[in-house]
Amino acid sequence: MIPGNKDTRDGILFSLPFLIVFVLFMVYPLLFGFYISFFQWNILGTPKFLGLQNYAELFQDAKFWSSLWHTVQFVLMTTPVLLVMGFLMALLVTSKSPLKGILETCFFVPYIFSMTVVATLWAWIMQKDFGIINQVLGLLGKEGVSWLTSDKNAMWSISIATYWWTAGFNMVLFTAGIKQISKEIYESAIVDGASTFQSIIHITIPLVKPTTILCLILQIIASFNVFGQVYVMTGGGPAGSTRVLIQYIYETGFSYFRMGYSAAMSYILFVIIMAVSVMQYVFLGRRND
Amino acid sequence: MRKGLITMAVLLLSGAMLFASAAPETQAAEGPIELKFWSLFTGGDGEFFNAMIENFNASQDEIHMTNDMVRFDDYYTRLTTALAAGTAPDVIVLHQARLINYVPSGALLPLDDYVSDEMLADFQKAPLEACRMDGSLYAIPFDVHPIVMYSNKALLEEAGITELPQTAEEFVEAAKKVKETTGQWGSLIDNTTGTYKAYTLTRLFVSLVNQQGGSMLTDDYSAAAFNNEYGYNALVWLQELLNEGVNPNELDYDAAMNMFRLGEGAFYFNGVWATGTMEQEEGLDFVASPLPPFMGKSAAWTDSHTFAIPVQKNQDPAKVEAAIKFMDWMTANADQWALAGNIPTRNSVLEGEAFNALPYRADYAAAVSTVVANPPTPAWGEIYETMSDLLESAVTKNEDPQTALDSMESTVNEIISHY
């Protein structure tokens, strides 16, 4: 250590403002949530100790399992599409197309809107009786589609809105990944007579793999945490067929004020996301080194 | 170094001030008392409420009321967390059915010591008594708002229907006739989740079960009591309207209201709170009437908005007094609230000219004696929401009624066991 150097102290001081907020609003609620998951508590009254009863109940609760399944459905419906879309957008944006500047803006703009704006907008577009899509279909003499009011379509409709909203973020990550690939590799491929398509398959995709893994992990975590779009667009309907786990956690906690049970479910979701992330790290991340 | 510490201190202080701003601010000696209120009125009656607040502020200069609109679906979430954090506004509005969720934990101030007997004597007995728990008064009823039937006069005339249907069979016949002769929908009962859940289905179901002499829960609120012929008849009738093709499938609350306003359906069911909105619709010739006794006797789902005062850490007596004055003024001038369609709770208003000059309202008021109160159990909120989901599924997917009722019964019993 150099005499007079107060790096450590300064470092702590500088991170203190963040740390205080972090502890107060992240660490403390996390620990408190775990603690309260062993109680029956309605927020206003005195908590009553239940032991593991909340966790035991959860395994019997059909609504918990159906909500978890809806969440998994959403993960499966959105993750692959969002990765492919993000990658294709990035290819366009990094291409030599004269339109690439405009395209980049178009692709990314939806992402800067807030969730409520996006979800409300799409809820109106997809409204069954007055929405613009069904109005247009009506003008063409076709029957309107139950975008949000049929349990077969509702989750897909929410997914479509999500594609539009968040694909741009993956594009940014992929664009950065693609730009890191050395130009010389492509040039020598051209010299060897490779087509653009071959370059993408044999150069871009393999070399962009670290980005793909990053996107995949981020996307799965984000999709597991889906709530806002569902809550605004369908309210979990029709008849609870799109109710996702976070929504069920929210309803139990903040509509029916069963905070303990709600906290217990949150911890199960936490364990699931953790397990998925670790698995991805082990199976996909390792081979990269 | 010195500088660093000072910067740190400033940062920490400004952080502390952020939190401090949530604490109750001290009242300025001069000027009117500032009161805060959160409104949940977003169902067509919001503008009438806002106008009333303005009139209240203009009527005197001691108290100034500020009013924030909160999305209905999020209202109780915000309210409860604010109560837990001690940051609730000075006066709150609660549905009567929700009092049971707040009174036992001591979140509401008992009002007995603050309200004069003369004021209370002016109130209708039933809604006032509903605000009492264990002998103490916790809220002042602002209105009663049962579900009613709206009928489009022009469509009925075109279909040659001269009298409003009074039984379940007559209703289906009338709805069919409208569909056949005018090509418009016979009935517009919303049955899917949109901005709101399919509450109308639950409200009708509750009404119909009670019209036959049944009830939703057992007398001690410990179990579901609708899985019998009463529930069966009610559910089958709701399904029949879709099976006969006279009611649209997958219709949400907002769409149903819009379609009725545009004259695309003959009968529509909603709370009295929609009356004012309908009256503002140009070119809509309609009549509103108490829910007909479709399945026997008269009975209609209802709820009631009530005003209450949250318990605060440092309760300011001046603010409590001001809040009581506000409640007194609002209930005594509830003929303005009746413009939206809601039924006032004070005799002086119900007998007053202003109220009786409004169309339909007197009929509503007469029907108040037949309204069905919500079961006073903390589980009711979850039961009500869950029933809306299950009825939505049963009606829109035309599920076997008995299977659907069995599943509703077991779900409701399961919910009750958690409270």
Per-domain boundaries in chain A: 37-288
Is the Cβ of A47 closer than 8 Å to some Cβ of chain B?
no
Contacting A residues, span 88-147, partner chain B, CB-CB under 8 Å: 127-130, 146
State how far the Cα of A30 lies from the Cα of A32, in Å rounded to an integer. Answer: 5
- Pick from A260, A244, A205: nearest CA to A69: A244
- pLDDT tens readout for residues A68-98: 999 999 999 999 999 999 999 999 999 888 9
Cβ pair A146:B250 closer than 8 A:
yes
- pLDDT tens readout for residues B121-167: 999 988 898 899 989 999 999 999 999 999 999 999 999 999 999 99
Q: Answer yes or no: are the C-beta atoms of A165 and A219 closer than 8 Å.
A: no
| Contact list, B2 vs chain A (CB under 8 Å) | none
Q: Which of A57, A257, A258 has the highest number of chain B CBs within 10 A, making it the mutation to test binding with B? A: A257
Domains of chain B: 32-144+304-372 (3.40.190.10), 147-301+377-417 (3.40.190.10)
Is the Cβ of B265 closer than 8 Å to some Cβ of chain A?
no
Is the Cβ of B377 closer than 8 Å to some Cβ of chain A?
no
Q: How far is B418 from chain A (nearest CA, A)?
A: 9
Q: What percent of chain B has pLDDT over 70?
A: 93
Burial of B171 per CB tally in 10 Å (0-12, 13-18, 19+) = buried
CB pairs under 8 A between A and B: 98
Look at residue B72 in the predicted model and tell me its pLDDT. Answer: 79
Q: How far is A47 from chain B (nearest CA, A)?
A: 11
B190 to chain A: closest CA residue: A149
Is the Cβ of B72 closer than 8 Å to some Cβ of chain A?
no
Is the Cβ of A16 closer than 8 Å to some Cβ of chain B?
yes
Residues 6+ apart with CB under 8 A from A231: A119, A247, A250
Cβ pair B393:A239 closer than 8 A:
yes
Those residues of chain A that have pLDDT short of 50 are 289
Those residues of chain B that have pLDDT short of 50 are 1-3, 5, 7-8, 10-28
Cβ pair B83:A44 closer than 8 A:
yes
CATH class of A37-288: mainly alpha
**In this prediction, does ipTM exceed 0.90?**
no
Record the pTM: 0.86
Look at residue A271 in the predicted model and tell me its pLDDT. Answer: 93
B311 to chain A: closest CA residue: A44
HEC string of chain B equals CHHHHHHHHHHHHHHHHHHHCCCCCCCCCCCCEEEEEEECCCCCCHHHHHHHHHHHHHHCCCEEEEEEECCHHHHHHHHHHHHHHCCCCCEEEEEHHHHHHHCCCCCECCCCCCCCHHHHHCECHHHHHCCEECCEECCEECCECCEEEEEEHHHHHHCCCCCCCCCHHHHHHHHHHHHHHHCCEEEECCCECCCCCCHHHHHHHHHHHHHCCCCCECCCCCCECCCCHHHHHHHHHHHHHHHCCCCCCCCEHHHHHHHHHCCCEEEEEEEHHHHHHHHHCCCCCEEEEECCCCCCCCCEECCCEEEECECCCCCCHHHHHHHHHHHHHHHHCCCCHHHCCCECCEHHHHCCHHHHCCCCHHHHHHHHHHEECCCCCCCHHHHHHHHHHHHHHHHHCCCCHHHHHHHHHHHHHHHHHCC
Is the Cβ of B6 closer than 8 Å to some Cβ of chain A?
no
